[in-house]
Amino acid sequence: MSETQANVQSAPDVSTLAVEIKDMHKWYGEFHVLKDINLEVKQGERIVICGPSGSGKSTLIRCINRLEEHQQGQIMVQGIELTDDLKKIDEIRREVGMCFQHFNLFPHLTVLENCTLALIWVRKMPKVQAEEIAMNYLERVKIPDQAKKFPGQLSGGQQQRVAIARSLCMSPKIMLFDEPTSALDPEMIKEVLDVMVELAHEGMTMLCVTHEMGFAKMVADRVIFMDVRQIVEENEPNEFFNNPQHDRTKLFLSQILDH
């Protein structure tokens, strides 16, 4: 417990932006996949990113923790610029947690070991203490009783909650979510969204790719709409949903709200 507090103690300096992206371009080989991205995220801000399939949402969010590298422009995370420098990448990954669409839990490790792995090997923490922290987060996502099971034995919703707990164990200052609920059955979506809402209310900086518009309305400070591999429109949720500016946005909203 003391350790969690210790990690939060270097509270984010409010003046530095959590994420700052300037004139960023990315190519996959010859394919121009992100065009002229400009984005500023303040500390504690909750951003929802939406847009049609193939618009580059995943790519954008994966650039933020350098799972993908960009070729032009600048990405700053907590004031650290992303370059080839391995030290910087380490630092940034310490600040940023990520949840994937397909959970990507480690199937050969128990739920508890999934959560303690990085604490032990990255934070160099004693096992006992790591387990204490992990149990703490597993309680917050409401599955402490599954700690000794293997991921394969859990439902999708439970797995995604473990994945969230696993990221939170590293006490990140920013959380990235890439369609965390789109591989889940409807009845499991809620249990994951509840955890995310709670997290949002605690003041975590979040960038979330999702099509859950209810979630966006409830917690987002800003909604970003991407299409044709660009940012088309960004606005606060009320404006975004009730008064979309761009035809593409209107079309997209009419399509997903119809359902």
Partner 1 sequence: MAEPGNTSATPSKPAPWNDPAVRSVVFQVVAVAAVAYFFYVIFDNTFTNMEKRGITTGFAFLDNPSGFGILMSLVEYDESHTYGRTFLVGLLNTVLVSFLGIIVATALGFTIGVARLSSNWIISKLAAVYIEVLRNIPLLLQIFFWYFAVLQVLPGPRNSFSWNEAVFLSNRGLFTPAPVFESGSSLIFGALVVAVVTVIAVANWARKRQETTGQQFHTVYVSIGILLGLPFLAFLVSGMPVSIDYPALKGFNFRGGIRIIPELMALLWALSFYTAAFIAEIVRAGILAVEHGQSEAAHALGLRPAPTLKLVVIPQALRVIIPPLTSQYLNLAKNSSLATAIGYPDLVAVFMGTTLNQTGQAVEIVAMTMAVYLTISLSISTLMNWYNKRKALVER
Partner 2 sequence: MTNFREIADMPPPANTVGVVGWVRKNLISTPMNALFTFIGLYLVYLLLPPLLDWTVFSANFAGEDQTACTGTGACWVFIKARITLFMYGFYPSEEYWRMNLVFALLAATFLPQFFDAFPYKKVFGIFSVTGFPIIAYILISGGMLGLEHVETDRWGGLSLTLILSFVGIVAALPIGVVLALGRRSSMPVIRTMCIVFIELWRGVPLISVLFMASVMLPLFLPEGVTFNKLARAMIGIVMFQSAYMAEVIRGGLQAIPKGQYEAASALGLSYWKSMSFIVLPQAMKLVIPGIVNTFIALFKDTTLVLIIGLFDILGSVQSAIVDPVWRGVSTEGYVFAAMCFWVFCFSMSRYSMALERKLHTGHKR
Catalog residues that contact partner 2 under the rule CB under 8 A. Answer: 25, 27, 29-30, 32, 35-36, 71-72, 228, 230-235, 245-246
Q: Quote the least distance from Cβ 94 to partner 1, whole Å.
A: 5
Residue 218 φ/ψ, nearest 5 degrees:
-75, -45
Q: Is 183 in the site for partner 1 (CB under 8 A)?
A: no
Residue 23 half-sphere exposure toward CB, CA atoms < 13 A = 2
Q: Does 137 bind partner 1 (CB under 8 A)?
A: no
Q: Should residue 58 be labelled a site residue for ligand ATP when binding is judged by CB under 6 A?
A: yes
Chain centre distance of CA 59: 12
Of 27-35, 135-143, 169-177, 197-205, the segment contacting ligand ATP by CB under 6 A is 27-35
Residue 58 interacts with which of partner 2, partner 1, Mg ion, none, CB < 5 to 8 Å by class? Mg ion
Q: C-beta of 89: minimal distance to partner 2 in Å?
A: 14
Q: x/- site string to Mg ion, residues 55 to 94, per CB under 5 A?
A: ---x------------------------------------
Least distance (Å) between residue 54 CB and ligand ATP: 4
Restricting to residues 185-214, name those near partner 1 by CB under 8 A.
none
Among 185, 184, 183, 207, CA closest to 196: 207
Q: Using CB distances below 5 to 8 A depending on partner kind, what does residue 55 bind out of partner 2, partner 1, ligand ATP, none?
A: ligand ATP
Q: Does 125 bind partner 1 (CB under 8 A)?
A: yes
Q: Which of 17, 118, 189, 199 binds partner 1 (CB under 8 A)?
A: 118
Contacts of 32 (CB under 8 A, 6+ apart): 25, 26, 229
Give residue 79's region: left, alpha or beta (phi > 0; psi -120 to 50). left
What is the nearest approach in angstroms of partner 2 to the Cβ of residue 233? 6
Supply the minimum distance, in Å, between the C-beta of residue 172 and partner 1.
Answer: 9
Contact residue for partner 1 among 32, 102, 201, 246 (CB under 8 A)? 102
Q: Where are the alpha helices (DSSP H) in the chain?
A: 2-9, 57-64, 86-95, 111-121, 127-140, 156-169, 186-201, 213-219, 237-242, 247-258
165-183 burial code (b ≥16 CB/10 A, e <16) = bbbbbbbbbbbbbbbbbee
Residue 4 binds partner 1, judged by CB under 8 A: no
Cβ atoms 138, 154 nearer than 8 A: no
Choose between 147 and 189: whose C-beta lies nearer to ligand ATP: 189
- Find which of ligand ATP, partner 2, Mg ion, none residue 30 binds, CB within 5 to 8 Å per kind: partner 2
CA proximity to 164, closest of 123, 203, 130, 206? 206
Q: What's phi and psi for 141, nearest 5 deg?
A: -95, 10
